């Protein structure tokens, strides 16, 4: 299937219909946290445990990570070098990197859960998915800072309650199918989960997680490097604790470097396949996916997905979304029940 792309400034966002000349910021919240002290403690612990603390003096100052990583590789400590390389990126990244922003439009407008708007602030424009449900009076976006970007650094670091922006749109075809008995499966990486947050809220607020007296399972698979890079993780965990038919599967590739993470560490598409009911898959999956089918998940979730009774939605960076769609198609989700949108 074709993965649609978000509009961008290059797609002439200014030509989208004007929603409102002014929307006022009513709330901002940083969703990640400064973990530099955790990084220091983790590196010190590794080196002390391995008896290397006195050998690499640069560790004490953390002012020359590249030299440290290079020396570790040269000395044959490739595992330490890989970890320190990952932690170097975490240590040096700006804060905040992930911010939730809520707006009150001067003029209310209609949109569908999953759509996006063009946002203009300080002379720059960018498309952002709406992470809010259409049932609410305010609208919300989730922004990941792109260092050197035209707009995201200002939105993450400078935007304050009371500031005003211009919105255009809405636009986008990544919207929910008509209610049916099928389960809902959302596959996302990073801020690609924003439209699915709005969809999940809408599904539960309107009661369409039930169809003709039968509950529909709602799944969210969300991938990131670190736990605090998961947008809306607390909201999803609250849904999971309150609702038997909601399943949240965070997939964290690096979190174990800083904490005792025991959940999924594989790519989202692999975690998804692990949660598919093995008995429902009849076609060969190919070498990349075959090993994951039937493997015990690390999520602690007993429920399983029947591809023949599921509709799948995928969103994230373009390169990742194609892998998510391929996995859904491979396990047998019909093509007309897969919808996807990419960006970046």
Could you tell me the CATH number of the domain that includes residue 260? 3.40.50.80
In a domain, 177, yes or no: no
Measured between alpha carbons, how far is 139 from 49 in angstroms, rounded to an integer?
Answer: 49
Q: Are both 296 and 232 inside the same structural domain?
A: yes
Cis peptide, bond prior to residue 172, ω within 30 of zero: no
Residue 210 backbone phi and psi in degrees, to 5: -125, 135
Measured between alpha carbons, how far is 240 from 234 in angstroms, rounded to an integer?
Answer: 10
pLDDT for the residue 9? 40
Q: Are both 126 and 24 inside the same structural domain?
A: yes
In a domain, 230, yes or no: yes
Helices 78-92 and 36-49 pack at an angle, to 10 degrees, of 160
> Could you tell me how many helices (H) and strands (E) the chain has, helices first?
9, 14
Q: Are both 135 and 165 inside the same structural domain?
A: yes
Classify residue 336 by burial, with Cβ atoms within 10 Å: 0-12, 13-18, 19+: exposed
In a domain, 278, yes or no: yes
pLDDT for the residue 8? 46
Say if CB 310 and CB 185 are below 8 A apart. Answer: yes
H helix or E strand, kind and range, residue 164: strand 164-171
Residues in contact with 249: Cβ distance below 8 Å, sequence separation at least 6, in sequence order:
219, 220, 221, 222, 263, 264, 271, 272, 275, 297, 299, 301
In which domain, by residue range, is 46 found?
Answer: 36-92
pTM reported for the whole predicted model: 0.94
pLDDT tens-digit map of 123-135: 999 999 999 999 9
If one counts the domains in the chain, the total is 3
pLDDT for the residue 206? 98
Q: Are both 162 and 83 inside the same structural domain?
A: no
Domain boundary among 77, 92, 107: 92
pLDDT for the residue 10? 42
pLDDT tens-digit map of 85-122: 999 999 999 999 999 999 999 988 999 999 999 999 99
In a domain, 176, yes or no: no
Could you tell me the CATH number of the domain that includes residue 124? 2.40.30.10
Domain boundary among 123, 143, 171: 171
Q: Are both 294 and 329 inside the same structural domain?
A: yes
Q: Are both 23 and 43 inside the same structural domain?
A: no
Residues in contact with 223: Cβ distance below 8 Å, sequence separation at least 6, in sequence order:
188, 189, 190, 250, 251, 252, 253, 267, 268, 271, 316, 320
Measured between alpha carbons, how far is 205 from 201 in angstroms, rounded to an integer?
Answer: 6
Mean pLDDT, 10 residues at a time, over the chain (344 residues)? 55 65 94 94 90 73 80 93 94 95 94 95 94 97 94 95 94 96 98 98 98 98 98 98 98 97 98 97 87 95 98 94 96 96 85
In a domain, 178, yes or no: no
- Structure-token match 């969300």, residue found: 222
Residues in contact with 73: Cβ distance below 8 Å, sequence separation at least 6, in sequence order:
81
Domain boundary among 92, 123, 140: 92
Tell me how far the alpha carbon of residue 13 is from its chain's centroid.
23
In a domain, 199, yes or no: yes
Q: Are both 251 and 333 inside the same structural domain?
A: yes
Q: Are both 49 and 164 inside the same structural domain?
A: no
In a domain, 302, yes or no: yes
Q: Are both 197 and 167 inside the same structural domain?
A: no
In a domain, 248, yes or no: yes
Say if CB 211 and CB 180 are below 8 A apart. Answer: yes
Q: Are both 200 and 332 inside the same structural domain?
A: yes
Residues in contact with 305: Cβ distance below 8 Å, sequence separation at least 6, in sequence order:
183, 185, 217, 219, 272, 275, 276, 277
Residues in contact with 181: Cβ distance below 8 Å, sequence separation at least 6, in sequence order:
211, 212, 214, 216, 309
Note the maximum CA span of the chain.
67
Q: Are both 27 and 74 inside the same structural domain?
A: no
Q: Are both 211 and 331 inside the same structural domain?
A: yes
Token readout for 316 is: 């994230």
């Amino acid at each position: 299937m074709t993965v649609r792309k978000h509009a961008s400034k290059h797609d002439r966002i200014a030509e989208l219909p004007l929603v409102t000349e002014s929307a006022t910021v009513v709330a901002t919240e940083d969703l990640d946290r400064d973990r530099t002290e955790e990084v220091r403690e983790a590196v010190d612990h590794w080196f002390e445990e391995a008896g290397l603390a006195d050998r690499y003096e640069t560790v004490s100052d953390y002012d020359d990570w590249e030299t440290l990583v290079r020396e570790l590789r040269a000395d044959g400590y490739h595992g330490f070098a890989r970890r320190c390389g990952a932690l170097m990126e975490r240590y040096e990244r700006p804060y905040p990197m992930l911010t939730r922003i809520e707006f009150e439009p001067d003029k209310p407008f209609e949109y569908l859960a999953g759509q996006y708007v063009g946002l203009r602030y300080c002379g720059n424009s960018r498309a952002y998915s709406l992470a809010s449900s259409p049932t609410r009076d305010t609208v919300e976006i989730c922004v990941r800072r792109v260092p050197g970007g035209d707009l995201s650094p200002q939105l993450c670091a400078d935007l304050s309650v009371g500031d005003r922006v211009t919105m255009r749109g809405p636009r986008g075809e990544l919207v929910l199918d008509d209610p049916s008995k099928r389960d809902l499966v959302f596959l996302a990486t990073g801020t690609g989960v924003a439209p699915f947050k709005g969809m999940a809220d809408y599904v539960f607020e309107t009661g369409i997680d039930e169809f003709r007296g039968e509950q529909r399972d709602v799944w969210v698979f969300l991938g990131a490097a670190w736990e605090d890079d998961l947008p809306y993780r607390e909201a999803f965990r609250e849904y999971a604790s309150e609702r038997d038919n909601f399943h949240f599967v965070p997939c964290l590739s690096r979190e174990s470097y800083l904490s005792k993470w025991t959940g999924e560490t594989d790519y989202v598409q692999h975690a998804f396949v692990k949660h598919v009911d093995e008995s429902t898959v009849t076609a060969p999956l190919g070498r990349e996916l075959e090993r994951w089918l039937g493997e015990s998940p690390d999520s602690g979730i007993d429920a399983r997905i029947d591809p023949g009774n599921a509709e799948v939605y995928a969103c994230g960076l373009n390169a990742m979304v194609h892998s998510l769609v391929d996995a859904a198609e491979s396990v047998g989700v019909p093509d007309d029940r897969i919808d996807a949108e990419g960006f970046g």
